[in-house]
Structure 1
């Protein structure tokens, strides 16, 4: 039987999620990678149990996380029924719908039919009667925002979700979503965009997405702060055979240009001078902005999760360090979600 560490809430800092009453850990665990059927059950258990021991209360999912789609939710559902039994109310569990989950015209997008059917399926896999946050995973230009956000409102009012959020919506679409939400009586809690030192789109524009969410009082849970592994020491000397770039998938070899790797190596030197790994500095860097509530990280092992959380113990950034980072924190083309949502 799993007994969580008694002092787990003493070290992890928690941040208020926008104007809500909800606190979230500064580092949360995302189950997008390393939580499908290709990862042994024992490893998944070890990672989640270590997260709980570290005071990570927020576990983030989506309907299509796997592989295959749904596998990550099912795996967490088994843990909630076993190791985590009795801890449900100490956790914030989120899921999303928007990308392709099943065949046919009703298996993706932002329609009411898809979103609510997906949520019901997610709850079945998780073995829960509600999630804490339910997101529209992407902006759908083919569906009126009134319908998409109306489905989120139904999810909240029916008790299947405690809060509602949006993910990867551009600044312009977020402004539109906020207006519709106010019209229909939906209180949006949080935005979940990608953000890293080599993917700074949330800072662009006037107003930027960070300006919009900050002014509106939304929390910001940023995903892929390590740019799917680019902002680690993994690719400094080539492409390892067991890396995501070598396996194929969303992170592609063409991201690893010599220009980009030159910037990454320079950032690694700055991190070393700070007494941190590059990954730790990358996590601390996204959290430097008070409008960012949480950095969402994945983990392939408990040790990797420990290293990510250790980013919170590092020094603050001096102006000289921030200027040096800015000269190398340039776009690397890794925002694979942009053409399907944030660029619209």
Structure 2
């Protein structure tokens, strides 16, 4: 997809102070430092979206010190289009900054028809990454994920494919996503045995979804692996969006798979109470929700989406107040339990 608006094709020069205010955290026991807030390209970067807006968001992110851009083979819609748009923008704006960027992609969910376009076979993972690199105009990614466990393919095959991807120079590090603690431990053991640099587990985590606290964070710490979290705002519930009802144009009003009216209504009292705590901290609810996740020592970064540069800047302000009193944490636990 081309960038045709002449007002948008001025040469990009990154802000000179881009590293002055961002916080960087070590990912497990690796040598990699990630920005405390990373940009996910799950939504708003496909062919159905404005590439000019996507370009503005990516530029803004890098100017704020966000060096980590997170993609997957099927991000769009349609599948592959977020990677292709990213590749177009990368060529225009970021080629000279490649060594300052930490770019991720993934494979594991449905991508193309037939038996080889899904899950965790060696055939699928290597083929998918080859396609992703072409779409993104990259020689390699910094980290490649297996996006979800495959219950039928032996994990030895899946982890062996990740090992060979690193040896082939197509990725510098490997990662997994959505694995439970036992699966994570087995993956870590297999990758350690082959000296494969396994540095990240990407997991869903928010005040309303705390499953990672039931063993996963401890497993990651034991194995020296960092955690990067997604859906920190619980699909928008942990924002100011629903404090005064459900807007007609909101995700919940559309009753989409990830969020619906009933879920919001069932949590609205909790949302109001949490918003009051955030207000007393001098933060928006979304900012407090991000800060609350970053209090965990195993969490290297929080992945956020953004539909505009203003939304991105607002969420990055979460880093202005990362400290919680014990009273605040106890009250939050009481509200969300």
TM-score, normalising length: structure 2: 0.94
Q: Using a 3 Å threshold, how does the CA distance of structure 1 residues 103 and 315 change in structure 2: closer, same or farther?
A: closer
Is it true that 1:25 corresponds to 2:35 in the alignment? yes
Q: Using a 3 Å threshold, how does the CA distance of structure 1 residues 315 and 143 change in structure 2: closer, same or farther?
A: closer
Q: Is the 8 A contact 1:231 1:282 kept in 2?
A: yes
Runs of 4+ in structure 1 off by over 3 angstroms are 247-250
- Residues 175-206 of structure 1 show CA distances to partners (whole Å, capped at 9, x for unaligned) of 111122223332311111010000000002xx
What is residue 234 of structure 2 aligned with on the other side? 227
Q: Using a 3 Å threshold, how does the CA distance of structure 1 residues 171 and 255 change in structure 2: closer, same or farther?
A: farther
What is residue 74 of structure 1 aligned with on the other side? 84
- Residues 73-123 of structure 1 show CA distances to partners (whole Å, capped at 9, x for unaligned) of 011100110011201111000000000011111110000000110000000
What is residue 326 of structure 2 aligned with on the other side? 319
Structure 2: how far apart are the matches of 1:248 and 1:98?
A: 26
Q: Using a 3 Å threshold, how does the CA distance of structure 1 residues 34 and 247 change in structure 2: closer, same or farther?
A: farther
What is residue 214 of structure 1 aligned with on the other side? 221
What is residue 194 of structure 1 aligned with on the other side? 204
Structure 1: how far apart are the matches of 2:311 and 2:107?
A: 28
What is residue 128 of structure 1 aligned with on the other side? 138
Displacement, 1:38?
Answer: 2.2
What do you get for the CA RMSD once the two structures are aligned? 1.2
SS for the counterpart of 1:95 is: strand
Is it true that 1:58 corresponds to 2:58 in the alignment? no
Summarize the alignment of residues 200-279 of structure 1 with structure 2, pairs less than 5 Å apart. Answer: 200-204=210-214, 208-254=215-261, 256-279=263-286
SS for the counterpart of 1:86 is: helix
What is residue 87 of structure 1 aligned with on the other side? 97
Q: Is the 8 A contact 1:274 1:315 kept in 2?
A: no
Displacement, 1:290?
Answer: 1.1
Displacement, 1:254?
Answer: 4.9
Specify every segment of 5 or more residues in structure 1 that has no aligned partner in the other structure, as ranges. 331-344
What is residue 5 of structure 1 aligned with on the other side? 15
- Residues 123-150 of structure 1 show CA distances to partners (whole Å, capped at 9, x for unaligned) of 0100011000000000111110001111
What is residue 296 of structure 1 aligned with on the other side? 303
Structure 2: how far apart are the matches of 1:323 and 1:153?
A: 43
Is it true that 1:143 corresponds to 2:143 in the alignment? no
Structure 2: how far apart are the matches of 1:274 and 1:2?
A: 36
Is it true that 1:157 corresponds to 2:171 in the alignment? no
Q: Is the 8 A contact 2:146 2:176 kept in 1?
A: yes
Structure 1: how far apart are the matches of 2:301 and 2:336?
A: 20
Structure 2: how far apart are the matches of 1:328 and 1:89?
A: 44
Q: Is the 8 A contact 1:149 1:186 kept in 2?
A: no
Is it true that 1:96 corresponds to 2:127 in the alignment? no
Moved more, 256-265 or 188-197: 256-265
SS for the counterpart of 1:246 is: coil
Moved more, 174-183 or 71-80: 174-183
TM-score, normalising length: structure 1: 0.93
Structure 1: how far apart are the matches of 2:46 and 2:322?
A: 35
Displacement, 1:154?
Answer: 1.0
- Residues 211-248 of structure 1 show CA distances to partners (whole Å, capped at 9, x for unaligned) of 00011110111111111111111122222222222334
